[in-house]
Amino acid sequence: MLRFKILSSVVPLLAAAVFARSEIGSVSHPCIALGETSVELTSLFWTAGIQVAFTDDPAQATVRVQITDDADVADFVVVDDGESEEPGACQANPATRLVAISEQSGGGRPTIYLSSEGPADYRIYVRSKTFSQRDAAALIVGAHGGLHHLQAASL
């Protein structure tokens, strides 16, 4: 009976480890390379160095991200047709920053208001098969550690 109890407690742990391994090692999540560092979205919130949330209320936002139709005025441009042309650009390494999108705002996490109108801390242009506008907003805010664009520039 004791062996059955041990086995029944180990099986869920093994299943969780296999799931976490495939989730962490996967490059199917939106990812951007910034010099020697890469920033990747993850669904495993406990592995994320930064968590961001989204709001529909501009008064609750700590960071405003504007969606623009002009790539020339954007701070962050994502245009792709799938796989990266740069091999290994977003391979996991010790410098990889993981960003998770939380369903709850507050708790010190940046809260993003995504809009097509200004004013904005960041402006993004997204035409992608793999990135959504929310993904791109989360990545740009996560890449800057959740700081406003103007705050990051003055550091």
Assess if residue 100 is contained within a domain: yes
Residues 6+ apart with CB under 8 A from 96: 37, 38, 39, 40, 90
**Over the stretch 22-71, which tens digit does the pLDDT of each residue have?**
444 444 577 777 777 788 888 887 888 888 999 999 999 999 999 999 99
pTM here? 0.70
- Other beta carbons within 10 Å of 94: 5
Assess if residue 68 is contained within a domain: yes
Assess if residue 145 is contained within a domain: yes
**Over the stretch 91-117, which tens digit does the pLDDT of each residue have?**
666 778 888 888 877 778 899 999 998
**Which domain covers residue 42, as residue numbers?**
28-154
In the chain, how many domains are there?
A: 1
pLDDT, averaged across the chain: 76
Assess if residue 2 is contained within a domain: no
